Amino acid sequence: MVTIYDTTLRDGTQREGMSLSVDDKLRIAARLDDLGVHYIEGGFPGSNPKDIEFFARARELALSNAVITAFGTTCRKGVPAAQDEGLAALLDTGCAAVCIFGKAWDLHVTQALHATLDENLRMVRESVAYLKDAGRRVFFDAEHFFDGYRAHPAYALAVCRAAAEGGADAVVLCDTNGGTLPQAVARVVREVAEALPGVTLGIHAHNDGACAVANSLVAVDAGCTHVQGTANGYGERAGNADLISIVAALVLKMGDDCVSADQLRLLTEVSHFVAETANVAPNPHQPYVGASAFAHKGGVHASAAARLPEAYEHVDPARVGNLARVVVSELAGRASLTMKAAELGIDLTGDQAAVARVLDGIKELEHRGYSFETADASLEVMLKKEIGTYVPFFTLESFRCIMEKREDGKVMTEATVKIHVGGHRFIATAEGNGPVNALDGALRLAIGRFYPALGAIQLSDFKVRVLDERKGTGAVTRVLIESDDGEKSWGTVGVSENIIEASWEALVDSIEFGLSHPRSDVRTTTRQPNV
Ligand SMILES: [Zn+2]
């Protein structure tokens, strides 16, 4: 069985323009765990405080498959492993597994590190042994391995051997520059496997030559049993090997059971979840999981594909949780919606008419730019509206936002809301550092006294994406809000051509959801305020 090692949270975040908060990273880790990934590299504790916070909070995550792994480098030149601060920081994370990288290309050792070739071998061997002695699982990333092997195979192999002698649980061959072709990867991995019998080998490929997935798969074929990559192939330059495609290929085409059939069905959902959380538009043409990955076009082909899918589809889309759009799949849609509703505590099994209405509603909303992948709470509010169990906590008469830029450079925003609660009308005004903050403040002033649970609800994250301009209308803005009450967190979505209106929509869903699921220590929320 191939070990799947995810580095979305470390190498993936090197992607230009991508930044993940600690909360984002924790949410992504939980979903990768659902998918059945074995190791999740959380970050580089020696390099930044955000990663240290991640490791501290990751201890609270109840993961069922994955082991959180800390990343770092070997001890420094001339420093014994036991006195190296970087290695100490790795141990301080408390992670059961650690991964360290070291140089495998002699050119880098002498020209970049300015160390002797023997000193580099000492650093690798001693660092791995030190971490092993501390009781950790240790992976060794042989940096620039393929380029190093081409230049000086005996030395690149000696580095791997040093890591193996130190006790490494896997020696990972890295194509750091990403330009090696599959033919070379296959040959080199075979030679290394022959030279180092009994050593567990891994592959870490970058996509500069558009071959990262292919390189990872041929490496497995040639003897690697540990594969490193990132969700959706995120990573610097042209990206890392895309674990989404790799996992699908391993299970569906190479007969490997790295994840179960049930876990594989989460592939599309997890891929989109990571994209939305990273605020990167999901690629509709991404193999296996893209919205267009199984969308057939052209009359004859489409109807033939519907009649005889195996003749036109390389795998059954349902196995990776995707849908063939032409086959549509009224049935698949119904079943997954009923399941999703059950997860949210809403029983739809007896109401097929409601299911059809909701499906139509979702299709229409998605067309307008909504996305429910990270907005379960909005989905719940929408479901309740459709099946008639929705009781609003308040109704809006109007809101108004004023922004003022002052002479001293300060920007002030003021919001006024007119709200009806239990037959009474309230007007409240609040200031804030931006329109959402001000609206949130005004809304709380207006209804806070009726709903004690509101005090615990806070907005923890706010993401804005301008969606493509659609024909005939202007650009549409999608706002995603993440909220929590210290016990749980939930996501909501709003879409409008106006960013403030989109924000208001996501804000209202967030508060509706928070009030209908109050914290366990808050008194049951009353819907009939007695004024
Ligand atoms: Zn890398």
Q: Model-level pTM?
A: 0.77
Q: Give me ligand 1 centre to Cα 193, in Å.
A: 21
- Give the domain ranges of the chain: 3-277, 395-516
DSSP 8-state class, residue 242: B
| Three-state secondary structure readout of 32-90 | HHHHCCCEEEEECCCCCHHHHHHHHHHCCCCCCCCEEEEEEECCCCCCCHHHCHHHHHH
**Residue 154's pLDDT band (boundaries 50, 70, 90)?**
very high
- The mean per-residue pLDDT over the stretch 489-508 comes to 93
Kindly report, residue by residue over 104-139, the tens digit of the pLDDT: 999 999 999 999 999 999 999 999 999 999 999 999
Q: Kindly report the CATH number that applies to the domain delimited by 3-277.
A: 3.20.20.70
Q: Give me ligand 1 centre to Cα 175, in Å.
A: 8
Q: In the structure encoding, which two tokens stand for residue 423, read together?
A: 């037959």
Q: Give me ligand 1 centre to Cα 198, in Å.
A: 25
| Contact (Cβ atoms closer than 8 angstroms) between residue 207 and residue 179 | no
- The mean per-residue pLDDT over the stretch 307-315 comes to 81
Q: Give me ligand 1 centre to Cα 418, in Å.
A: 53
Q: Give me ligand 1 centre to Cα 283, in Å.
A: 22
Q: Give me ligand 1 centre to Cα 74, in Å.
A: 16
Find how far residue 417's CA is from the centre of its chain.
36
Q: Give me ligand 1 centre to Cα 63, in Å.
A: 25
Q: Give me ligand 1 centre to Cα 288, in Å.
A: 23
Amino acid 296: pLDDT: 67
Q: Give me ligand 1 centre to Cα 197, in Å.
A: 25
Q: Give me ligand 1 centre to Cα 531, in Å.
A: 61
Q: Give me ligand 1 centre to Cα 126, in Å.
A: 23
Task: Name which of 474, 487, 472, 483 is nearest 511 in CA terms.
Answer: 483
Q: Give me ligand 1 centre to Cα 519, in Å.
A: 42
Q: Give me ligand 1 centre to Cα 352, in Å.
A: 49
Task: Name which of 463, 458, 412 is nearest 434 in CA terms.
Answer: 412
Q: Of the ranges 157-171, 268-282, 471-485, which one carries the lowest mean pLDDT score?
A: 471-485
Q: In the structure encoding, which two tokens stand for residue 334, read together?
A: 């119904």
Give 219's contacts (C-beta < 8 A, 6+ positions apart): 173, 185, 186, 189, 201, 203, 205, 227
**Residues of the chain with pLDDT > 70: what percent?**
92
Give 405's contacts (C-beta < 8 A, 6+ positions apart): 411
User: What is the rounded CA–CA span in Å between residue 344 and residue 64?
Assistant: 21
H helix or E strand, kind and range, residue 361: helix 352-368
As separate numbers, helices (DSSP H) first and strands (DSSP E) second, the chain gives 18, 14
pLDDT at 303 over 70: no
Q: Give me ligand 1 centre to Cα 206, in Å.
A: 6
Q: In the structure encoding, which two tokens stand for residue 80, read together?
A: 């014994």
Q: Give me ligand 1 centre to Cα 176, in Å.
A: 6
User: What is the rounded CA–CA span in Å between residue 318 and residue 203?
Assistant: 29
| Contact (Cβ atoms closer than 8 angstroms) between residue 277 and residue 24 | yes
pLDDT at 329 over 50: no
User: What is the rounded CA–CA span in Å between residue 359 and residue 323?
Assistant: 14
- Which three-class secondary structure state does DSSP give residue 195? helix
The top-level CATH class assigned to 395-516 is alpha beta
Task: Name which of 328, 391, 336 is nearest 358 in CA terms.
Answer: 336
**Residue 291's pLDDT band (boundaries 50, 70, 90)?**
confident
Q: Give me ligand 1 centre to Cα 372, in Å.
A: 31
Residue written as token pair 């505590």: 345
Amino acid 531: pLDDT: 43
Amino acid 332: pLDDT: 46
Q: Give me ligand 1 centre to Cα 77, in Å.
A: 22
Q: Give me ligand 1 centre to Cα 240, in Å.
A: 7
Q: Give me ligand 1 centre to Cα 213, in Å.
A: 13
Q: Give me ligand 1 centre to Cα 230, in Å.
A: 10
Q: Give me ligand 1 centre to Cα 331, in Å.
A: 42
Q: Give me ligand 1 centre to Cα 42, in Å.
A: 14
